């Protein structure tokens, strides 16, 4: 056992060198500032209203998920992924299931894939609603947020119908879903497709050509594509700079290649473009859900999981009556499944960007090493450098438009 | 332009670097190579700027701890060519207790926090990093918690031992 090495650098003296006459003010924005929508701290050095430099401190809700995951069987890691980006937990759940399925080389029936697409796109809409709504609130338009909040509530009702939970959903299982969508769920998805477009249209009308909103957001925090790629940005904020990188298109998973949808891109990468990209993505998500419903109707009814008895828990009534089911049930619950030694990287398009799961598996009960490539974490590191020279009020809306979710930032 | 595949990547790398790297395999279609720590920046720079490869998107940097191996730390780089959807995984094996590799922040700004996270978890020192501090854990922490020798739970706890579950 090696002793840990001594500290490399002491906690760096952040920025006391560039202010010899002590003219600047140091401001702690956070960790619990109401405008940051999460637990982040930014130590800003300000000259009046203008930020001179800043340092981000993160990790306030770090929960060591990667360490915990090394001690949990696969199905117990799903609830951990819920708590990454808790605004769109189903995308994380699905991403994790697909990672394990890639490792185990499980073929998923088409109907299940379309069901997953529906769940993921609903989650994307729910996430973008929050981000764009909050962006409106931060620029002073509170009412739009309330209009769309009701629709997010409706999406959560659909999730509740599908899996019983609303926010941290733990939706689906390795190999498919824990149960089929019931009639009510399908009816509610259909109802959502009818009631959401007018609301989104109204929300859009409040902002898109609103002069106050445009003046607050247009030209603020402009990012070039080169900068964005150098900072490994992904997701809507990268697309707002004009790079058409969407994991759903570039590296399709879950049959996304069969769907017809557009990837919206911006031109200048400012806050307004990010708003518009997210807004358009909600319309595209609706298109995808519609197509998925049509495709599901053509598939054989009642298929909601792959036929992998060694990894998918049998129905409880069979466990009591059927020998094989009992054995599989016991093996799965005790973690006695046979898994290959391999390593796998799987990425999905999360609401904030490329959400990657890198797993090294040694054939044991739990992953040898699991790393989450968390888009919020990687996107957020540009915040402090790009803030210098900005007004504080602009930095606030810049932070809103990055849509940094503290759970995903800190893991 | 031809569709880029793992063979082309390998050929291009071999032309440039000869035997300076080892192919570790293609798990699930993702070409994995291993490079010595001294050469990693030259490698990353080449695959980033080469006109054929253009693996210019740094997806991720992380590390793995293998306490039983002689070179017990493995730093893993994931690179992506978005045009052809080709990924490349580069591994650097180094030995502890103070594993050291040169920093990739000279090539990508985004490597900054990824390397800080890796340092925070594993104590991997990225030589030349502008601001190598802990990022997620508290500054006072004296250990690197993702190393395998640090248990998740109290090691004296017996009620969860395998023995009680018949295994």
Return d(Cα A47, Cα A387) in angstroms, integer: 13
DSSP H helices, B50-86, are none
A397: alpha, beta or left? (left if phi > 0; alpha if psi -120 to 50): alpha
**pLDDT, tens digit, for every residue of A210-265?**
999 999 999 999 999 999 999 999 999 999 999 999 999 999 999 999 999 999 99
For residue B27, list chain A residues with Cβ-Cβ distance below 8 A: 342-344
| Cβ density class A28-56: b for 16+ within 10 Å, e for less | ebbbebebbbbbbbbbbbbeeeebbbbbb
Kindly state the DSSP code that residue B39 receives in the 8-state scheme. G
Return d(Cα A93, Cα A122) in angstroms, integer: 13
Between positions 38 and 97 of B, the ones with CB within 8 A of A are 56-60, 62, 64-65, 76, 78, 82, 85, 87, 89, 96-97
CA distance B19 to chain A (A): 24
> CATH code for A65-410?
1.10.645.10
B133 in contact with A, Cβ within 8 Å: yes
Q: Which residues of chain A have pLDDT under 70?
A: 1-21
CATH code of the domain covering residue B49? 3.30.460.80
When CB atoms are compared, the residue of B28, B114, B139 closest to A11 is B139
Residue with token string 């992953």: A367
* Domain range for B42: 6-165
Q: What are phi and psi of A334, to 5 degrees?
A: -85, 0
Question: Does residue B1 fall inside a structural domain?
Answer: no
Return d(Cα A152, Cα A133) in angstroms, integer: 11
- Number of other residues whose CB lies within 10 A of the CB of residue A89: 27
| pLDDT for position A8 | 36
Question: Does residue B41 fall inside a structural domain?
Answer: yes
- Tally C-beta pairs within 8 A across A and B: 113
Domain chopping of chain A, boundaries: 65-410
3-state secondary structure of A50: strand
| pLDDT for position A5 | 40
Query: For the whole model, what pTM was predicted?
Result: 0.92
- 3-state class percentages of chain B: helix first, strand second, coil last, to nearest 5: 25, 25, 50
Closest CA relative to residue A153, chosen from A96, A85, A199:
A199
For residue B87, list chain A residues with Cβ-Cβ distance below 8 A: 345
Contact present, B126 and B119 (Cβ < 8 Å): yes
Domain count, chain B: 1
* Model ipTM value: 0.91
Share of chain A above pLDDT 90, in %: 75
Host H or E run for residue A85: none
């Amino acid at each position: 056992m090696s002793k840990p090495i001594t500290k490399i650098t002491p906690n760096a003296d952040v920025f006391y060198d560039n202010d010899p006459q002590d003219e600047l003010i140091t401001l702690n924005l956070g960790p619990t500032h109401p405008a940051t929508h999460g637990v982040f701290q930014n130590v800003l050095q300000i000259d009046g209203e203008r930020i001179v430099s800043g340092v981000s401190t993160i990790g306030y809700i770090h929960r060591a998920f990667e360490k915990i995951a090394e001690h949990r069987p696969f199905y117990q890691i799903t609830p951990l992924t819920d708590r990454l980006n808790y605004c769109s937990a189903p995308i994380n759940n699905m991403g994790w299931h697909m990672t394990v399925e890639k490792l185990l080389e499980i073929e998923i029936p088409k109907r299940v894939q379309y069901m997953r697409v529906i769940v993921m796109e609903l989650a994307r809409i729910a996430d973008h609603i929050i981000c764009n709504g909050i962006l409106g609130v931060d620029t002073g338009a509170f009412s739009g947020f309330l209009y769309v909040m009701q629709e997010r509530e409706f999406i959560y009702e659909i999730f509740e119908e599908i899996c019983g939970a609303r926010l941290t959903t733990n939706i689906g299982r390795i190999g498919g879903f824990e149960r089929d969508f019931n009639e009510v769920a399908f009816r509610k998805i259909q109802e959502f497709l009818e009631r959401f477009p007018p609301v989104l249209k109204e929300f859009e009308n409040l902002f898109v050509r609103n002069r106050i909103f445009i003046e607050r957001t247009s030209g603020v925090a402009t990012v070039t594509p080169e900068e964005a790629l150098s900072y490994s940005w992904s997701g809507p904020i990268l697309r707002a700079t004009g790079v058409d990188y969407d994991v759903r298109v570039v590296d399709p998973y879950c049959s996304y290649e069969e769907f017809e949808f557009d990837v919206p891109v911006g031109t200048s990468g400012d806050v307004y473009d990010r708003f518009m990209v997210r807004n358009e993505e909600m319309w595209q998500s609706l298109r995808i859900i519609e197509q998925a419903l049509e495709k599901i109707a053509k598939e054989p009814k009642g298929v909601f999981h792959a036929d992998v008895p060694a990894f998918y828990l049998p129905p409880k009534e069979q466990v009591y009556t059927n020998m094989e089911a009992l054995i599989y049930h016991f093996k799965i619950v005790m973690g006695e499944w046979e898994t290959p030694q391999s390593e796998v990287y799987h990425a999905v398009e999360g609401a904030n960007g490329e959400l990657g799961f890198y797993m090294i598996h040694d054939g044991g009960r739990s992953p040898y090493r699991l790393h989450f490539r968390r888009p919020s974490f990687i996107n957020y590191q540009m915040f402090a450098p790009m803030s210098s020279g900005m007004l504080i009020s602009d930095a606030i809306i810049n932070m809103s438009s990055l849509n940094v979710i503290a759970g995903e930032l800190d893991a | 332009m031809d569709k880029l595949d793992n063979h082309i990547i390998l050929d291009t790398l071999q032309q440039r670097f000869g035997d300076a790297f080892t192919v570790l395999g293609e798990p699930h279609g993702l070409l994995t190579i291993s490079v010595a720590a001294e050469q990693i920046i030259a490698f990353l720079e080449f695959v980033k700027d080469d006109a054929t490869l253009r693996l210019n998107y740094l997806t991720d940097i992380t590390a793995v701890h293998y306490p039983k191996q002689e070179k017990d730390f493995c730093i893993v780089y994931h690179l992506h060519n978005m045009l052809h959807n080709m990924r490349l995984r580069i591994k650097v094996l180094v030995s502890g207790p103070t594993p050291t590799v040169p920093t990739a922040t000279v090539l990508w700004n985004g490597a900054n926090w990824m390397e800080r996270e890796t340092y925070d978890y594993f104590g991997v020192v990225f030589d030349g990093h502008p601001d190598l501090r802990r990022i997620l854990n508290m500054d006072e922490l004296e250990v690197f918690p993702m190393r395998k020798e640090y248990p998740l739970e109290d090691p004296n706890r017996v009620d969860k031992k395998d023995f009680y579950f018949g295994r």
